[in-house]
Amino acid sequence: NAGVTQTPKFRVLKTGQSMTLLCAQDMNHEYMYWYRQDPGMGLRLIHYSVGEGTTAKGEVPDGYNVSRLKKQNFLLGLESAAPSQTSVYFCASSFVGSGGQFFGPGTRLTVL
């Protein structure tokens, strides 16, 4: 049982390049989330999904897109990376209803 995994762990992009971050969970969770964490700050929600085929915007969605084609996977895309998107990205998942979220190990992204 791997829990929540994220690919890749590190990535360096040039401004304007695109990339996709992959999140996978093997706990059959309905809800999945993408956050970013910047130095000295808590996590801010980018997008989330309450089930396969659904997505919704969080607090800071601009510049990102997401897809949830399979229940176990949640993809985060950057179409045209900007230096302001340099951050650590965390994926999380949870059961339906109240309860804690399970987090992946994070992806450290640098945009030059």
Partner 1 sequence: SQQGEEDPQALSIQEGENATMNCSYKTSINNLQWYRQNSGRGLVHLILIRSNEREKHSGRLRVTLDTSKKSSSLLITASRAADTASYFCATDQISSGSARQLTFGSGTQLTVLP
- Contact footprint for partner 1 (CB under 8 A): 4, 31, 33, 35, 40-45, 48, 50, 56, 58-59, 90, 92, 94, 97-106
Residue 65 beta carbon to partner 1: minimum distance, rounded to whole angstroms: 18
CA distance 22 to 5: 8
Query: Who's near 49: CB < 8 A, 6+ residues apart?
Result: 31, 32, 33, 55, 56, 66, 68, 74
**Which lies closer to partner 1 via its Cβ, residue 18 or residue 84?**
84
Closest distance of CB 50 from partner 1, Å: 6
CB nearer to partner 1: pick between 74 and 90:
90
Distance from chain centroid for Cα 57: 12
